[in-house]
Amino acid sequence: MKFTDILSTEQFKRSDIELIMKFAAKFEPYAQKKKQGAMLAGKIMASLFYEPSTRTRLSFETAMKRLGGDVITAVGMEYSSIAKGETLADTARTIEKFADVIVVRHPLIGSAREMAEAVKIPVINAGDGAGEHPTQALLDIYTIKKERGKIDGLTIAMVGDLKHSRTIHSFVNLLRHYDVKLIFVAPDELKIPKEYLKKLDEKRLKYEEISDLRLACKKSDVIYMTRIQKERFSNLREYEQLKNSYVMSRGLIEKINPKAIVMHPLPRVGEISLDMDDFKGSAYFRQVENGVAVRMGILSLISQ
């Protein structure tokens, strides 16, 4: 297999995902600061951020630097003349003369692909608006594997705004390659789009859509929480009510399913209570650490 661009979770077969996970595992000691690497020495990654995403950017930059690589960074690209004055293709062709790999975050769907089509160096999509965030989905899969030892056979609940979250969409795209059961927990206004259910049907995977978080907790091995954003609601009272019904707390999970794993792409803004931080199954900060290992694996794979 030869990786080139990382643009969409659609591009991966199960064997691709497994390969990335194998590489990520290999790089864990480097991500965990136990070992120093030089595998990417002499390589330069360009971080091009057309909207702020400090967490994702620093995760990629850390991955690069801990393997001996270097980084050139352009944040606030949305205000730069390079952004106003030229096409994404021209920008990519320019950056290609500087860097060995491009990591791009952009508010518009398809922007990473547009860049990838213009250049020969690999392009990694670090989030393209309402589109995809494939490396987030890969680190989520990796985290489940690591926390549970396997993915096949698990029941995984996703909670919150399943309609708008690109993280959820990319995640479902990857999970359909495994023998999992999915539980979607969302209010009517924020249900998972039908196209994703269709994809699961094609794979003959079981899923259910429910609105009760307690029930989901009971049935699931993994509970993936997401934020519910105020601005999605016209009725503010409805928002307040929903927000409160989708809060993961220690009282809830320890009583119902103390062996569950609780995940979140961060930032959390209330949907996981602070008392959860000492809960053994709370994996959200471990996700961050795994993210560095997964990105190390990806950067290493595409630099071969």
Contact residues toward its own copies (CB under 8 A) are 31, 33, 36, 41-42, 44, 46, 52-55, 57-59, 61-62, 65-66, 70, 72-77, 79-82, 85-86, 90, 93-95, 97-100, 227, 266-269, 285, 288-289, 291-292
Nearest approach in angstroms of CB 298 to its own copies is 16
> Residues 134, 176, 193, 236: what is their CA dihedral angle, to the nearest 10 degrees?
-70
Nearer to its own copies, 86 or 240 (CB): 86
How would you classify residue 200: left for phi > 0, otherwise alpha for psi between -120 and 50, otherwise beta?
alpha
Nearer to its own copies, 149 or 267 (CB): 267
Alpha-helical regions (H) of the chain: 14-31, 54-66, 81-85, 88-96, 111-118, 134-148, 166-175, 194-202, 213-219, 236-245, 250-256, 284-302
Nearer to its own copies, 177 or 295 (CB): 295
Nearest approach in angstroms of CB 289 to its own copies is 4
Nearest approach in angstroms of CB 230 to its own copies is 12
Nearer to its own copies, 23 or 60 (CB): 60
Question: Is it true that the peptide bond before 267 is cis, omega within 30 degrees of 0?
Answer: yes
Q: Is the distance from CB of 152 to CB of 179 less than 8 angstroms?
A: yes
Nearer to its own copies, 54 or 304 (CB): 54
Q: Smallest Cα–Cα separation from 257: which of 247, 244, 248?
A: 248
Dist CA 41 CA 262 (whole Å): 36
Nearer to its own copies, 61 or 221 (CB): 61
Tokens at 258, concatenated: 């103390």
Nearest approach in angstroms of CB 214 to its own copies is 25
Q: Which are the contacts of 302, defined by CB distance < 8 A and separation ≥ 6?
A: 3, 4, 5, 6, 101, 122, 124
Dist CA 189 CA 163 (whole Å): 8
Dist CA 50 CA 132 (whole Å): 15
Nearest approach in angstroms of CB 283 to its own copies is 12
Nearest approach in angstroms of CB 222 to its own copies is 20
Nearer to its own copies, 172 or 283 (CB): 283
Nearest approach in angstroms of CB 87 to its own copies is 8
Nearest approach in angstroms of CB 178 to its own copies is 26
Q: Which sign, positive or negative, has the C-alpha torsion 43, 84, 79, 111?
A: negative
Q: Is the distance from CB of 300 to CB of 19 less than 8 angstroms?
A: no
Nearer to its own copies, 178 or 297 (CB): 297
